Amino acid sequence: MAAGGAAGQPGDIVQVTVKEEGHAWDPGPRKPRGGAGPAELSRRRFRQFCYWETPGPREALRQLRELCRQWLRPETRSKEQIVELLVLEQFLAVLPGELQAWVRQRHPQSGDEAVTVLEDLERELDEPGEQTPNLERQKMTTEKKAKLKTDSGRSFQEAWTESFGVIERNGKALCILCSKSVVCRTSSVRRHFDTNHKSVAELGETERREFLAEKLKRCHFQYVSFCSCLSKANHLAAASFQISLSVVKHGKPLSDGDLIKMAMLSGSESLFHDFPNKDKIIQRISEMPLSRNTVKDRVLRMASDVSQQLAADLRKAACYSMCLDGSTDTNDHVSLAVILRYAAGDTMREELVKLVSLPGRTQGVDIYNAVMEAFLSQGIRPEKVVSITSDGAPCMVGATSGFIEFFVKEAKHPVIQFHCIIHQEMLCAGESSKTLDSILRDISKMVSYIMAHALNFEQFQALLAEVRAQYNALLVYSNVWWPSRGRVLEKFVACLDEIRLFMNEEGQQYPQLTDTAWLNNLMFFTDFILHFNILNKKLRTVGKTAERVFGDIKTFERKLQVFERDLENGQLKYFPSLKMHLENCTFTDSPVNCQEIYKEFSSIVAAAKKNFSNRFLQFRRMETTLGFLTSPDRAKFEELDLSCLHWLDCGNLEMELLEFQESSIWKNKFCDLRATLEKMEKTECEGVTEDGTVGSFENEILKVWNSLPDNFKSMKALGVAFLSLFGSSYACEQLFSALNFIKSDRRNRLTDDLSAAYVALKLTKYEPRFDRLSACIQQQRSH
């Protein structure tokens, strides 16, 4: 019927209103529901099939297959036609309700026909036509929407279950006869029952109630059975996730999942022998999926879940610091580790954002592109980065083409730059012990002669056992790992007499073993390098603040002054190996000039002290500012170095600092904090606790800063920013150590994604959400 009919006739108002509602198309006369063709009826029966109307799952599957066959008619249609019908069905299903009904009335036979129908409709809507506004209809529509909104809050009535066979599910009435949802309204429930289940509604009241009670009982039984099966499957999946995580945490191969399962089954007969449900336990273990592919899938899913938790915390974090370092794996592939340090609630976290593979070049722009891609994938904002710690390589810190230069342009503000403090310490140690290189070459030759030949090694071990030596073998020096120098020298000196005796018995001439000058240098550098190793061990700790890390460096600088004075005085309290050697030197008849020796070695210590004073410049420049972290009550605003903190409102900071220092309540919080940190430091030094102590320092500081009110917003921002600073890149070194263990020579075919997932799960402090993961996968038993 056209829209341009007589406006005063009541029959035309509805048609004009339909166009005013935004649907300027006439769906035309609808066919009666019973007038659809056989194919359409088969499709409806297939789509509206109800499981509860069948006696069991096998019969339900049989009926579904038959309905599908009647709908798709594979005996008369080709595979391409069947696929086209399925695509058409899904296409219509994703259309809005009114459009879907309108297109179905045109009975398209393919997706292209459905698209053509919709395009024709769009063209009709675009054509200008007479559309008479109907305010009355708009008012009715608004009132209807308000009424529907009010109805949505109606509660389910228990009487409906006995009368109409509906139960409550997710705030709606669910029919137990056809599994369709109905609005919680008596008229809607009654209409659905009378229309769709007329045969049941026509039964007598007693017979109808008995029929519905039986259906309800059966529905409840099937629901409980289904939930039980689902719960069992979820438990199996959760167990497989947990075991897969244990495999990853220990860096074991994916195939170890099957090994663990076999071991559990092997011991189950004996372990659960006296259990009444032994067979059920063994059956449950045997059903647990732990194949290699399953463990791989679990690892990737858990890594994705941890990544989602990380992204959520990073979105909430006010700021974070970044640590970057690269390494080469067994396949000569360069990997870049991007680690962020940030505050999550009252906990400081150091987490791997991404392990990026860098093909080809590793220039500053390549690193920048890789980091920005990682940031984009996690939704990380570059402007929140306040500090970057790297190894100081030109590709990182280059003035024109370094990574940091590119990143600062992206962040639109300068960042605090730190050269890894461990790397600087190792450079100082190397520059201070150049004479040691020749000594290590001589030691390597002697050790290689002993260790490279099986017979020599066995004879030397027998000699060490005979004299009950402190060690039963020597170490081979590797130039890659600098701290190994101390251990190599320590073992060599401890076994020096046995080495000298063994070489004499073998007829090997090594004059260095009786050379007084060579032995003097050996003993001195053994003691000196061991002092460096102690410092290196202190610096290699995850979670230390930049203030504490630099505090270890300052302490060692003062120790160097003590070492220099100790050598000048000839007391040798801190050089026990050198002292013992000089007291027992029997390789020369001429007297040893100890003063010359002391002078020579004290000059080496003085050079080391100078090397230290010329490095760590960024830490020295910010030393006073870093003290603000634990002592804001003592800080002076004019002494703070805020040159790289353009994102901070310095005017507010100065005013807040004045108010803070005049408040005894807030000042006392940091006095108490320093007392707490002192106790924790004492506990750590005494070795009372072994795990978790270092990390708790940062958490205690963070809790105090978080306890301040928002009146000190700028102070809190500065405190959290300083707390997030990386003092070293040890977190990256630890990560690459784990990667080398995981991606070894025997497992060098692991993909980049799987290697990154392995490392992320091994080192993360996040726990995968096993319940959520197990509920989101298709449950399958092991077979």
Domain containing 107 — which CATH number? 1.10.4020.10
Alpha carbons within 13 angstroms on the beta-carbon side of residue 649 total: 12
Average pLDDT on 734-755 reads: 84
DSSP state of 418: E
* pLDDT exceeds 80 at position 119: no
pLDDT in tens, 179-210: 788 888 888 888 888 888 888 887 888 888 88
| Structural domains counted in the chain | 4
pLDDT confidence of residue 128: 45
pLDDT above 70: percentage of residues in the chain: 84
Q: Is residue 323 part of a domain?
A: no
Question: How many other CB atoms are found less than 10 A from the CB of residue 179?
Answer: 15
d(CA 772, CA 305): 9
DSSP state of 481: S
β pairing state of 181-182 and 385-390? unpaired
d(CA 363, CA 402): 8
Q: Is residue 780 part of a domain?
A: no
> Which residue, among 329, 414, 337, has the nearest Cα to 371 in the 3D structure?
337
Average pLDDT on 317-339 reads: 88
**Cα distances (angstroms) measured from residue 237 to each of 4, 160, 243:** 64, 38, 10
d(CA 608, CA 561): 10
Q: Which element (helix H / strand E) includes 358?
A: strand 347-358
Q: Are 560 and 694 in the same domain?
A: no
State the DSSP string of 293-330. Answer: HHHHHHHHHHHHHHHHHHHHHHHH-S-EEEEEEEEE-T
Kindly state the tokens that stand for 741: 């263990």
Kindly state the tokens that stand for 611: 């090397």
State the DSSP string of 241-293. Answer: HHHHHHHHHTT--TTHHHHHHHHHHHHHHHHTTT-TTHHHHHHHHHHS---HH
Q: Are 487 and 607 in the same domain?
A: yes
Q: Are 82 and 35 in the same domain?
A: yes
Residue 4 lies in domain: 1-15+129-151
Last residue of a domain, one of 723, 739, 762: 723
Helix ranges (DSSP H) in 495-544: 496-506, 516-539
> Which residue, among 269, 273, 245, 266, has the nearest Cα to 257 in the 3D structure?
245
Average pLDDT on 578-597 reads: 76
Average pLDDT on 520-537 reads: 91
- pLDDT band, very low/low/confident/very high, at 414 (cuts 50, 70, 90): very high
Q: Are 645 and 544 in the same domain?
A: no
- Which residue's entry shows tokens 């509660």? 155
Last residue of a domain, one of 682, 706, 723: 723
Q: Are 564 and 437 in the same domain?
A: yes
Q: Are 494 and 575 in the same domain?
A: yes
- Which residue's entry shows tokens 């804001």? 632
**Cα distances (angstroms) measured from residue 73 to each of 59, 77, 106:** 21, 6, 21
- pLDDT band, very low/low/confident/very high, at 137 (cuts 50, 70, 90): very low
* pLDDT exceeds 90 at position 86: no
Q: Are 696 and 548 in the same domain?
A: no
Q: Is residue 467 part of a domain?
A: yes
Kindly state the tokens that stand for 312: 């959520």
Least confident range from 224-228, 249-253, 407-411: namely: 224-228
d(CA 520, CA 517): 5
Query: Which neighbouring-strand residues pair with 323?
Result: 339, 389
d(CA 274, CA 276): 6
For residue 62, count CB atoms less than 10 angstroms from its CB and return exposed for 0-12, middle for 13-18, buried for 19 or more: exposed
Q: Is residue 39 part of a domain?
A: yes
Q: Are 555 and 698 in the same domain?
A: no
Most confident option among 35-39, 104-108, 197-201: 197-201
Kindly state the tokens that stand for 285: 């273990």
DSSP state of 425: H
Helix ranges (DSSP H) in 545-662: 546-569, 576-583, 594-613, 617-621, 623-626, 650-661
pLDDT in tens, 353-371: 999 888 777 888 999 999 9
β pairing state of 320-328 and 385-390? parallel
User: Chain-wide mean pLDDT for the chain?
Assistant: 81
pLDDT confidence of residue 85: 84
> Which residue, among 613, 621, 622, has the nearest Cα to 424 in the 3D structure?
613
pLDDT confidence of residue 267: 92
Most confident option among 171-180, 232-241, 346-355: 346-355
Residue pair 57/32 in contact by the 8 Å Cβ criterion? no
**Cα distances (angstroms) measured from residue 208 to each of 180, 190, 197:** 19, 14, 11
- pLDDT band, very low/low/confident/very high, at 301 (cuts 50, 70, 90): very high
**Cα distances (angstroms) measured from residue 492 to each of 500, 501, 521, 585:** 11, 13, 13, 17
pLDDT in tens, 448-465: 888 888 888 888 878 777
Q: Which residues contact 669 (CB under 8 A, 6 or more apart)?
A: 704, 707, 708
* pLDDT exceeds 90 at position 553: yes
Q: What interhelical angle do 57-72 and 38-47 show, nearest 10?
A: 150
pLDDT confidence of residue 225: 56
DSSP state of 11: G
Q: Are 682 and 658 in the same domain?
A: yes
d(CA 212, CA 218): 10
pLDDT confidence of residue 707: 92
d(CA 384, CA 60): 57
Q: Are 630 and 495 in the same domain?
A: no
pLDDT confidence of residue 118: 78
d(CA 562, CA 520): 20
Secondary structure (H, E, C), 85-152:
HHHHHHHHHCCCHHHHHHHHCCCCCCHHHHHHHHHHHHHHHHCCCCCCCCHHHHHHHHHHHHHHHHHC
Kindly state the tokens that stand for 264: 């559990």
Q: Is residue 671 part of a domain?
A: yes
Kindly state the tokens that stand for 124: 């009709």
Last residue of a domain, one of 618, 648, 667: 618
Q: Is residue 656 part of a domain?
A: yes
Alpha carbons within 13 angstroms on the beta-carbon side of residue 690 total: 0
Q: Are 673 and 655 in the same domain?
A: yes
Q: Is residue 316 part of a domain?
A: no
Q: Are 137 and 105 in the same domain?
A: no
DSSP state of 573: T
Least confident range from 245-249, 252-256, 609-613, 738-742: namely: 738-742
* pLDDT exceeds 60 at position 329: yes
Q: Is residue 730 part of a domain?
A: no
β pairing state of 347-358 and 320-328? unpaired
Least confident range from 182-196, 300-314, 365-379, 575-589: namely: 575-589
d(CA 294, CA 292): 5
> Which residue, among 625, 482, 613, 628, has the nearest Cα to 558 in the 3D structure?
613
